[in-house]
Structure 1
Amino acid sequence: MEIENQRPRSNPSSRTANKGRLNKYALACAMLASTNSILLGYDIGVMSGAVLYIKDNLKISRTQVEILVGSLNVCSLIGSLASGKTSDMIGRRYTIVLSAATFLIGAVLMGLAPSFSYLMAGRVIAGIGVGYSLMIAPVYTAELAPAMSRGFLSSLPEVFINIGILIGYIFNYALSGLPEHINWRLMLGIAGFPAIAIAGGVAMMPESPRWLVMKGRLEEAREILIKTSVDEDEANERLHQITKAAEDIMHTTADGGGGSEISQSNWKGQGVWKELLLHPTKPIRRMLIAAIGINFFMQASGNDAVVYYTPEVFKAAGIHKRKQLVGVTIIMGLAKTSCVLISALHLDKYGRRPLLLLGSSGMAISLALLGLGSRYLQHSDQKPTWAIVLCVIALCADVSFFSIGLGPITWVYSSEIFPSRLRAQGSSLAVSVNRVVSGVVSMTFLTITGKITFGGMFFILSGIMVIATVFFYYWLPETKGKTLEEIESIFEDK
């Protein structure tokens, strides 16, 4: 593979002066890619209210409610597993379009569903689209973004997930007054309209420069890097690093695949699963443990289930009117969205580790307080106001600390720690664990709380977050300010 002999001839003082500036072109591309995440957020938010009306209208049981809610997360496993290979074959950009189109089909089916079985079919298809989206948006953004702003830009998918959740809550409130055979259909079907706009917008985005280099299209990659860098010298420096990494990929793939005939033009991720799972080096093994671990704890925290079943949690706390239930969820949505914005804006200043440790320890304390409040209300006939307020504040604190730490940082970390040859499929494996755990927790949350109460469940989740904090402290090194090509060396150290 040839690269232009244009090693960097930069002016260090001007580079230092400009490195803190956010590149507007990179920001626009990251925002377009991340808008796909609104679809998942909207589904999470709107389903928490829609399920109240679906249960009454379709006469489904508590178990069917759990299956309906959790099925999207379980089925997203299909999309997340397929997304790595798909994005290596057809590119990052068209994989984003594919995810939006798949979700659109699912949303239309859900909105028009005449029965529970049709509704489930829509959830399955929408779940596959969600699986594609969760992996590809952070990977695309991480590969496009300059190192100094990668944390902020790669956390945008979580920002848009929270914006989607808030929009879902607002539509719940706005449509709750309609007849129950109409309101939930509108709540779920409306998601099809932004999916169309997202698919069209993403089609105009540039391709990932790292994927272009992998395919041997150096000039196209250089043009995109110039647009996303401070100056042309920085673009040439980034191109040199990416090209050198790509040369190593071709060498490694050829050795592992049994032939030197593999070239950039026909590279489609060959041998990646073998290198990840069968014969990983010590650094790769550490990356896998870190990526899978953070994705596991993201969902083992119970955040998705808590958001899905927020009305049930508040019912147990003594809030029974549906309008009040939906209204309180809007307050929670505002708290989540505000905190994820704060985290995203400070990820590149303070780093991943401090915010992650703050978020997980804060969740452990909030869940413990929520457990105490819930247990008190369970054994109290009067339902005192102070206990209800404590539960509402503790729940808002829990989701807020999640939005500071695990929420945005999981996507950032998973998408940046793997080397180029492993990034797409390594991230897809980690996200697959994320989806399995999310589905299991969502589909068992109500059953478990029915046996051990909400208070008992929150105490268990608090203990899980204590374990998560210890894991993060010992296993996750800091990646702030490093290029994607430099991060691999961090995991080579003990």
Structure 2
Amino acid sequence: MIINQGDKEDQTNTFNKYAFACAIVASMVSIVSGYDTGVMSGAMLFIKEDLGISDTQQEVLAGILNLCALVGSLTAGRTSDYIGRRYTIFLASILFILGAGLMGYGPNYAILMVGRCVCGVGVGFALMIAPVYSAEISSASSRGFLTSLPELCIGIGILLGYISNYVLGKYLSLKLGWRLMLGIAALPSFVVAFCILTMPESPRWLVMQGQLGKAKKVLMQVSNTTQEAELRLKDIKIAAGLDENCNDETVKLPQKSHQGEGVWKELILRPTPSVRWMLIAAVGIHFFEHATGIEAVMLYSPRIFRKAGITSKEKLLLATIGVGLTKIVFLVIALFLLDKLGRRRLLQISTGGMIIGLTLLGLSLTVVDKSNGNVLWALILSIVATYAYVAFFNIGLGPITWVYSSEIFPLKLRAQGASIGVAVNRTMNAVVSMTFISIYKAITIGGSFFMFAGISVLAWLFFYFFLPETKGKALEEMEMVFTKKSSGKNVAIEMDPIQKV
């Protein structure tokens, strides 16, 4: 039997608590990121009433976060290569504090937009760095679980945003309510900024800086045995272009090609066939995550439920909280399935369920649109279809997008490769959030969800043919996975001999 590099890594089911704690702290920044996304869906109801903004201004306010996150994500890769993964998370926290302060002040639409932009840059940093850090400290056997924690934290943040909408909107005055909804995010950002400084740096980033002694100390903490730590360090040294038998505390790397133009040349201008395949896979999965309509549902769910026949503002916000709870429940389920069922199978199940949910949502909303009075069965079906779509999205496509794109790139290309994926993600997020109202006015709200269902069919086909399985593979082994001549559907996982016994 040929034992691959990744098989050397200890893949026993013993869970490393320190690695889990590090991933939790890194993922806390995603709670703030999710809160900034979720809170705006309900806050816009109050902002429109208080400031008298138009539908177009609402679309811009919703989407500007993602356009600014695009800027943040494109700079986050190089930033994290220069200052480290840990301090990049710290920088994201500072941006959240500044943005939340400006939005909480919010005397007019212009200041609100500036605060939203600052938060957007922070979101771009957070979305890129949290999964990358989690992937780099985890072993192959628990990487799916730990790397999907940021997506779970985003879901928790979105739910907290919805709850904030309901509670503060109900018990506070109009002028104070929405400002506190937006400004309160500064408090957890302070906590994240403090906690982040207690974390260790990514061992893979330390090796890229030639700090082998520090990298070994971190690996000893996040590995279950000394042997596992040594094997992981050996694989990382090989990936960084160092002698695997080098035991110096610090070394000078052969070249700094992981920083600057060399990385972009290897990613975009002259990629190897395996890197090209990785880039297509990362860009594709990030594109389809939002092209299939999740932002329309999460951001505009109050409008969707209003179209379905729910008119009370209080009931609209409660129904929206149900969406957030559904997201959390199925993200938790996904945590435990990612390393058991694998990425590909979950993606296929998830996307198939999304197609059904979107089709039923389009059908029910079309019936409501065409009828004169309220149609009870269509109202019930639209709510059930919305929850079903959110459930299927979050059991697969939602978390896997971030797990997959943060684990497939080679060490020196990982941060900036992941940042390209996040840039595509934020672009599509902005496009959907800034055009959804205009689209449903042009083709009806039911027609817009039929459109998303059609895009989901294309997503299922893309995942089937272009995404190989990565479950159980070491990060240093991904190039082997993506150099196989067979198509994505034939790339199978070789289980570790320990697991086969």
Paired position in structure 1 for 2:21:
28
Instruction: Return the letter of the residue paired with 2:236.
Output: I
Alpha-carbon contact 2:274-2:479 (below 8 Å) kept? yes
Structure 1 residues 415-448: Cα deviation after superposition (integer angstroms, max 9, x where no partner): 0000001000000011101111110110000011
Is 1:462 aligned with 2:453?
yes
Q: CA RMSD in A?
A: 1.7
Paired position in structure 1 for 2:183:
189
Paired position in structure 1 for 2:291:
300
Paired position in structure 2 for 1:52:
45
Structure 1 residues 172-218: Cα deviation after superposition (integer angstroms, max 9, x where no partner): 11111222111100110011100110111111100000000011111
Paired position in structure 2 for 1:233:
227
Counting only pairs closer than 5 Å after superposition, residues 3-402 of structure 1 correspond to structure 2 as 19-177=12-170, 178-247=172-241, 263=254, 268-402=259-393
Instruction: Return the letter of the residue paired with 1:324.
Output: K
Alpha-carbon contact 1:363-1:465 (below 8 Å) kept? yes
CA distance in 2, matches of 1:24, 1:231: 13
What is the count of residue pairs matched by the alignment?
Answer: 470
**What is the DSSP-based 3-state SS (H/G/I as helix, E as strand, rest coil) of the residue aligned with 1:120?**
helix
Paired position in structure 2 for 1:254:
none
Q: Cα distance 1:353–1:117, how it changes in 2: closer, same or farther (>3 A)?
A: same
CA distance in 1, matches of 2:257, 2:480: 28
CA distance in 2, matches of 1:329, 1:267: 44
Instruction: Return the letter of the residue paired with 2:440.
Output: T
**What is the DSSP-based 3-state SS (H/G/I as helix, E as strand, rest coil) of the residue aligned with 2:141?**
helix
**What is the DSSP-based 3-state SS (H/G/I as helix, E as strand, rest coil) of the residue aligned with 1:354?**
helix
Is 1:416 aligned with 2:407?
yes
Structure 1 residues 365-389: Cα deviation after superposition (integer angstroms, max 9, x where no partner): 1000000000000011221221111
Instruction: Return the letter of the residue paired with 1:40.
Output: S
Q: CA deviation at 1:245?
A: 0.7
**What is the DSSP-based 3-state SS (H/G/I as helix, E as strand, rest coil) of the residue aligned with 2:46?**
helix
Instruction: Return the letter of the residue paired with 1:75.
Output: C
Q: CA deviation at 1:74?
A: 0.9
**What is the DSSP-based 3-state SS (H/G/I as helix, E as strand, rest coil) of the residue aligned with 1:271?**
helix
Alpha-carbon contact 1:215-1:264 (below 8 Å) kept? no
CA distance in 1, matches of 2:150, 2:456: 23
**What is the DSSP-based 3-state SS (H/G/I as helix, E as strand, rest coil) of the residue aligned with 1:148?**
coil
**What is the DSSP-based 3-state SS (H/G/I as helix, E as strand, rest coil) of the residue aligned with 2:143?**
helix
Q: CA deviation at 1:264?
A: 6.6
Instruction: Return the letter of the residue paired with 2:20.
Output: L
Structure 2: gaps (5+ residues): 1-7, 244-251, 486-501
Structure 1 residues 248-268: Cα deviation after superposition (integer angstroms, max 9, x where no partner): 79xxxxxxxxxxx96478963
Alpha-carbon contact 2:258-2:413 (below 8 Å) kept? no
Instruction: Return the letter of the residue paired with 1:229.
Output: S
Paired position in structure 2 for 1:252:
none
Alpha-carbon contact 1:99-1:130 (below 8 Å) kept? yes
Instruction: Return the letter of the residue paired with 1:436.
Output: T
CA distance in 2, matches of 1:305, 1:34: 24
**What is the DSSP-based 3-state SS (H/G/I as helix, E as strand, rest coil) of the residue aligned with 2:444?**
helix
Alpha-carbon contact 2:104-2:180 (below 8 Å) kept? yes
Structure 1 residues 345-382: Cα deviation after superposition (integer angstroms, max 9, x where no partner): 11001111111111111111100000000000001122
Q: CA deviation at 1:330?
A: 1.1
Q: Cα distance 1:270–1:204, how it changes in 2: closer, same or farther (>3 A)?
A: farther
Q: Cα distance 1:36–1:93, how it changes in 2: closer, same or farther (>3 A)?
A: same
Q: Cα distance 1:350–1:266, how it changes in 2: closer, same or farther (>3 A)?
A: closer
Q: CA deviation at 1:77?
A: 0.4
Q: Among residues 475, 482, 493, which one is paired with 1:484 in the alignment?
A: 475
CA distance in 1, matches of 2:129, 2:39: 23
Alpha-carbon contact 2:77-2:415 (below 8 Å) kept? yes
Paired position in structure 2 for 1:429:
420
CA distance in 2, matches of 1:230, 1:264: 32
CA distance in 2, matches of 1:458, 1:265: 47
Identical counterparts, % of pairs: 53
Instruction: Return the letter of the residue paired with 1:67.
Output: V
Structure 1 residues 95-127: Cα deviation after superposition (integer angstroms, max 9, x where no partner): 000011111101110010100000000011100
Alpha-carbon contact 1:299-1:434 (below 8 Å) kept? yes
Structure 1: gaps (5+ residues): 1-11, 250-260
Alpha-carbon contact 2:42-2:165 (below 8 Å) kept? yes
Q: CA deviation at 1:230?
A: 1.7
CA distance in 2, matches of 1:134, 1:244: 28
CA distance in 2, matches of 1:69, 1:180: 19
Alpha-carbon contact 1:269-1:421 (below 8 Å) kept? no
Q: CA deviation at 1:487?
A: 1.4
Give the structure-1-normalised TM-score: 0.93
Alpha-carbon contact 1:45-1:165 (below 8 Å) kept? yes
